[in-house]
A and B are shown apart, each in its own frame.
Chain A
Amino acid sequence: MKFIDEYRDAPSVHAFADAIRRVTTRPWAIMEICGGQTHAIVKFGIDTLLPPEITLLHGPGCPVCVTPVELIDKALLLAARPDVIFTSFGDMLRVPGTQGDLFSIKARGGDVRMVYSPLDALKIASANPNRQVVFFAVGFETTAPANAMAVYQAARRGIDNFSILVSHVLVPPAVEAILSSPGNRVQGFLAAGHVCAVVGYEEYAPLAEKYRVPFVVTGFEPLDIMQGVYMTVCQLEQGRAEVENQYARCVRRAGSAGAQAMIREVFEIVPRKWRGIGEIPASGLGLRAQYAAFDAEKRFGLAKMNIAESDQCLSGQVLQGKIKPHQCPAFGVTCTPECPLGATMVSSEGACAAYYRYRRREVMHG
């Protein structure tokens, strides 16, 4: 397939693996930020082609995984209301709150609908004027423009039975939280290509300088990831800490101006809780005052709810690259995809789910 097969070409991937082996002289720990990259790495077996000195750590860039349990519980409360049609991306439906997941609410009669875009949720709202339609607005900078657009259009068209439950988070503050943490192991980052396609990569330059770590904006195909690792290792070996762009076919330095304008119109930067990590200042997006009417937490009086995380789930440490998924004592024992303690075991981008699906037998028995 055009623009896919070229980036999965085995000889080119192996050529990069050889190149990485040639330039590597000592151990390096590199974090891929995005969960999409984590899954590509494990699914294609990219890490098995790397020299033993290179450790890939799996980062916090899975929107499902970092959504705090409190927000999931709020979603469950809303979805169970008879006056609400609760809409969400499919990925969120299986994420456990403290009392089950959205699928179990649906099984008990809640009107939970999977949509592929927030604009589809808006269509449902306009077709059901007598019901409240809530969209679960989760994700990083990648999903923010479309979610902002849904609110913007709802305001312009006067669709006032529409609201969003917001759990938007931003990548750079999470990266800074990881770098400034005392137990940090990460020496270089593969920055998430699609996030940078929206917001560009200028924000990483001060981080690279302050913490002396290289960033390479990287795509999602095997060859992208290999090249991203190669560029990062080259920087590390040469003592450089710069921001480079491997994913130039999609990403411009300044990102997409139109998408950023839409985000700024509707959202402002707010502190956010991250599942398993805790609150990080200025790390997320919330609706601006003029769009507050579309905030589901305010509309349904949920703003003050506060819920603690399970202390058995070590996903916070997994998301910060401090441990690998199988180093959590609950992995595959008390925590499985059917019976998850944390979202990292459920989401299609979660590191624990990737290890469970593709590596379980190796990591648990040998």
Chain B
Amino acid sequence: MVDMTLQCPVPFTHSETVMLAHGGGGRMMRSLIEGVIMPAFSNPALDAAHDGAVLTINGSRLAFTTDSFVVQPLFFPGGDIGTLAINGTVNDLAMCGARPLAISAGFIIEEGFSMDTLRRVISSMAAAAREAGVQIVTGDTKVVDQGKGDGLYINTAGIGVIADGVDIAPTNIRPKDAILLNGDLGRHSLAIMALREGLRFESTIESDCAPLVKPVMALLDAGIRVRCLRDLTRGGLASALVEIATAARRDLQIAEAAIPVREDVRGACEILGLDPLYTANEGRFIAFVAPEDAARALALLGAGAQQIGSVLETPGGQVTLTSVIGAARIVDMLSGEQLPRIC
């Protein structure tokens, strides 16, 4: 690695400046986390590199997670920064197979921010917490000078309890396991992008922002053999699959034709040159389940859920996609965020 960077005229991955792409959910973000943060804090719970840490306390297993929300605009079709903060946090817990217990909320507010807007955000957080069946039990507020923040940032932490017998991890996936997706891709990203950039499409695209506790608990309570779960936030479906395949050293196969993408989202992606496989979602997850349980799991996940692929017999860590015209290609992580194309 050292030789490579010496020859490179533009060594971005070892940049001395933090770039936006370091937060984009792709390879640069991984290099920031794995190169700068993880080595300094290394411990078994952190090194598992899951959506949340799993801690064993007096014989019971707790999932513990944290997240920060810096979305602009604060309000968008289908949600706002408040619903995003609650759902994002409970979803990280759900992806550990945990039933969420309690959440903290820290607010960093810019001087001059409208009190009424703050009330609206707080009230949607309360509503989202009720829907997810979780309480907000502690919090913090800080106010920064005007110009030193972007209106409102929210940081959360969450804890949840993992039932006996539940063990969710990439290394648990086995050959022939079914890969299930709970609904259509891409709506959250496109909803935010349309609003932020003033793009108008024929219909309003609403974010898919939703709590995933109920569908995950439905799978676990029904005794579905769930091996691994992952929500499809930054980096989208493709990055989640690549991360799991790499961690498990297993080859995965998915079919493009089986991946649901709503027509308005597909259209917007075609215009902008974006691939729905990499766009962020806030209410979508993949579940790796035992092949015999796949049909039952799909029924529990309800309309819109699809089996999109399976785990192959071969070890390796590669994700292969069969394109709509029947040819195979690899699926890789992007470097940073997708950029709209020129023409």
Contacts and interface: CB of A to CB of B under 8 A. Distances in A.
A358 B17 contact: no
A89 B342 contact: yes
A107 B21 CA distance: 10
A44 B332 contact: no
A225 B13 CA distance: 36
A108 B17 contact: yes
Q: Identify which of A43, A44, A94, A338 gathers the most chain B CB atoms within 10 Å of its CB.
A: A338
Interface string B182-210: 00000000000000010100000000000
B141 interface: no
B57 interface: no
Contacts of A96: 9-10
A139 B270 CA distance: 19
Given A103-B19, A103-B20, A334-B8, A42 B329 contact: yes
Interface in A22-55: 36, 42-46, 48-49
Q: Identify which of A44, A143, A312, A362 gathers the most chain B CB atoms within 10 Å of its CB.
A: A44
B7 interface: yes
B31 to A, nearest CB: 8
Contact of A4 (B9, B21, B266, B329): B266
A45 B329 contact: yes
A48 B19 CA distance: 37
Interface residues of B, number: 45
Interface residues of A, number: 58
Interface in B19-48: 19-21, 27-28, 31
A341 B7 CA distance: 10
B325 A46 contact: yes
Interface stretch (B63-71, B213-221, B333-341): B333-341
A361 B325 contact: no
Interface stretch (A6-14, A179-187, A241-249): A6-14
B17 to A, nearest CB: 5
B139 interface: no
Interface in A205-250: 222
Interface of A: 1, 4, 8, 10, 13-14, 36, 42-46, 48-49, 63-64, 89-94, 96, 98, 100-101, 103-104, 106-108, 114, 116, 138-140, 142-143, 194, 222, 310, 312, 333-334, 337-341, 348-349, 356-362
Given A44-B327, A48-B328, A357-B334, 16 more contacts: A8-B325, A43-B329, A46-B327, A63-B342, A89-B341, A96-B9, A100-B10, A114-B339, A142-B343, A194-B343, A312-B7, A334-B4, A339-B8, A339-B13, A340-B10, A348-B339
